[in-house]
């Protein structure tokens, strides 16, 4: 196997910078065990590479997988070209998180990628590819159907033509379920019972404070469900399941919808029980794309919102989570306007600094929230990207919140670069109760670090 992979590297190791000037800059190969992460392929090198693959014994092993993006392209329509570079960058990033140090992947075209697995079994490799496509689809389209997640496996070569087997995620999962009979299942009966029983536990709720830079005050708390028991005098420990992680590894669409309804109802009850004379805080209420992505679901969610009276609506921000970058503007406008009838503003969670901000400004999104850990694996690189994004947000009158400001360095960089809101360990961990709005001067935050 290593000799074959070495041959693959040899097929493109002599490619030149000149090739990138011929419009071939997207044609990359990833060899994780190499000192270089990607290489520019010439057209001749690409042909040589595929020839090596299709003439090797890998054809019969099921280790050559073809990932097609046709379904994503079709559903994005006119947005495909505008998002193409982001889609490729995301695909590379997602793939790198799944493949091993000896695997190889490259793109044959804008719509087809090949992964060559060094030693992974056929079924496991197929599921890995399906997970990659599912993650990519959900990032840009918000939801995915198992029948649309299709992985092709090279099977054999006849008269110079390679034949592929196509299988969708639904049939893969069914096959895995059949393989995992009671005596062979990877999860024990006790583990499965525990997983299911946790879903029936009444969720507890924590509140993470957000610091308003302009007013130097804790004005807002993000509402998050959690599982477990804690001492009421301390903040939530990181080991607990928090947010949508409370659903566990296996959950239905209905369970996620019910969780969003539960978060909303608890937030409304919390605001109603707070003393209005004691400066109610603003609550960030998460709502996932799956909960509001079509008319029927949006109508059902807003039916729960009807409990929001005008006196507490001014303390509610709807925090959109998992919204795809490729969502049509008209659809986004309708969702935002429908929710804003019940609250003071709408905030959007983003995992990228490459958003088309015109769309969000036009849709009346007031704040964009990001986590440094979602932008890149290294925080220093995230801080290199953020200043330009912050400036662009402000040009469109959109404020930026950084939600994992955990260190003194993070805090200083956020303040220096004009971040509008902070949350994270530097401001405070999740609390068992949300308090009223309170002043928290910048000097006091700095002094708290000096006291450590």
Whole-angstrom distance, CA of residue 66 vs CA of residue 64: 7
In degrees to the nearest 10, what's the CA dihedral of 243, 247, 253, 256? -30
Beta bridge partners of residue 40, listed in sequence order: 28
Tell me the helices (H) and strands (E) count for the chain, helix number first. Answer: 19, 17
What is the model's pLDDT at position 212? Answer: 96
Element (H, E) at 301: helix 295-305
What is the model's pLDDT at position 276? Answer: 61
Strands 421-422, 104-107: parallel, antiparallel or unpaired by DSSP?
A: unpaired
pTM of the model: 0.58
What are the φ and ψ backbone dihedral angles of 320, each rounded to 5 degrees? -75, 125
What is the model's pLDDT at position 26? Answer: 35
Give the distance, in angstroms, between the CA of residue 183 and the centroid of all CA atoms in the same chain: 35
Instruction: Output b/e per residue, 153-170; b: 16+ Cβ within 10 A.
Output: bbeeeeeeebeeeebbbe
**What one-character-per-residue DSSP string does 134-155 give?**
HHHHHHHHS---GGG-EEEEEE
CATH number of 194-450: 3.20.20.450
Separation in Å, CA 308 to CA 152, 265, 276, 299, 339:
49, 9, 15, 15, 11
Separation in Å, CA 31 to CA 10, 12, 38, 78, 110:
12, 11, 7, 33, 19
Tens of pLDDT along the chain (452 residues)? 445 555 454 444 433 333 333 333 333 444 444 433 443 344 555 565 666 666 666 666 667 888 888 888 888 888 898 888 889 888 888 888 888 777 877 777 788 888 888 777 777 888 888 888 888 888 888 776 767 788 888 776 666 566 667 777 767 666 655 554 444 444 444 444 444 444 445 788 999 999 999 999 999 999 999 876 555 434 455 456 788 888 887 778 888 999 999 999 999 999 988 866 566 899 999 999 999 988 888 989 999 998 999 889 999 999 999 998 888 888 899 899 999 999 999 999 998 888 888 888 888 899 999 999 888 888 889 999 999 999 999 999 999 999 999 989 999 999 999 999 999 988 988 888 888 889 999 999 988 876 54
Residues with Cβ < 8 Å from 77, sequence gap 6 or more? Answer: none
CATH 3.20.20.450 maps onto the chain at: 194-450
């Amino acid at each position: 196997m290593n000799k074959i992979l070495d041959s693959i590297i040899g097929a493109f190791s002599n490619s030149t910078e000149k090739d990138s000037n011929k419009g071939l800059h997207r044609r990359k190969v990833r060899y994780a065990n190499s000192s270089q992460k990607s290489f520019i392929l010439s057209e001749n090198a690409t042909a040589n590479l595929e020839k090596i693959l299709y003439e090797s014994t890998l054809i019969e092993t099921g280790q050559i997988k073809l990932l097609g993006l046709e379904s994503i392209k079709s559903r994005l329509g006119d947005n495909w070209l505008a998002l193409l570079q982001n889609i490729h960058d995301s695909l590379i990033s997602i793939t790198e998180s799944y493949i091993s140090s000896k695997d190889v992947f490259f793109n044959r075209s804008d719509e087809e990628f090949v992964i060559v697995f060094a030693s992974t079994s056929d079924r496991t490799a197929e599921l890995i590819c399906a997970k990659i496509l599912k993650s990519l689809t959900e990032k840009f389209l918000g939801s995915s159907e198992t029948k649309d997640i299709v992985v092709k496996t090279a099977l054999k070569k006849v008269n110079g033509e390679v034949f592929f087997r196509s299988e969708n995620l639904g049939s893969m999962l069914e096959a895995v379920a059949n393989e995992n009979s009671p005596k062979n299942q990877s999860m024990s009966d006790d583990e499965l019972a525990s997983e299911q029983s946790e879903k029936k536990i009444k969720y507890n709720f924590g509140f993470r404070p957000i610091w308003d830079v302009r007013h130097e005050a804790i004005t807002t708390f993000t509402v998050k469900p959690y599982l477990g028991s804690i001492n009421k005098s301390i903040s939530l420990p990181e080991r607990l399941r928090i947010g949508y992680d409370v659903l566990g590894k296996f959950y239905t669409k209905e369970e996620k919808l019910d969780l969003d309804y539960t978060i909303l109802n608890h937030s409304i009850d919390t605001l109603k029980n707070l003393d209005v004379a004691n400066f109610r805080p603003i609550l960030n209420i998460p709502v996932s794309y799956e909960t509001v992505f079509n008319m029927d679901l949006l109508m059902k969610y807003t039916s729960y919102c009807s409990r929001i009276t005008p006196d507490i609506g001014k303390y509610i921000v709807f925090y959109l989570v998992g919204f795809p970058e490729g969502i049509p503007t008209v659809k986004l406008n309708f969702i935002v306007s429908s929710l804003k009838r019940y609250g003071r503003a709408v905030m959007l969670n983003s995992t990228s600094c490459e958003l088309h901000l015109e769309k969000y400004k036009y849709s009346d999104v007031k704040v964009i929230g990001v986590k440094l850990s979602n932008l890149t694996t290294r925080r220093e690189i995230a801080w290199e990207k953020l200043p330009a994004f912050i400036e662009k947000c402000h040009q469109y009158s959109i404020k930026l919140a950084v939600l994992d400001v955990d260190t003194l360095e993070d805090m200083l960089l956020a303040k220096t670069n004009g971040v509008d809101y902070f949350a994270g360990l530097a401001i405070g961990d999740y609390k068992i109760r949300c308090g009223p709005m309170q002043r928290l001067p910048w000097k006091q935050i700095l002094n708290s670090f000096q006291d450590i």
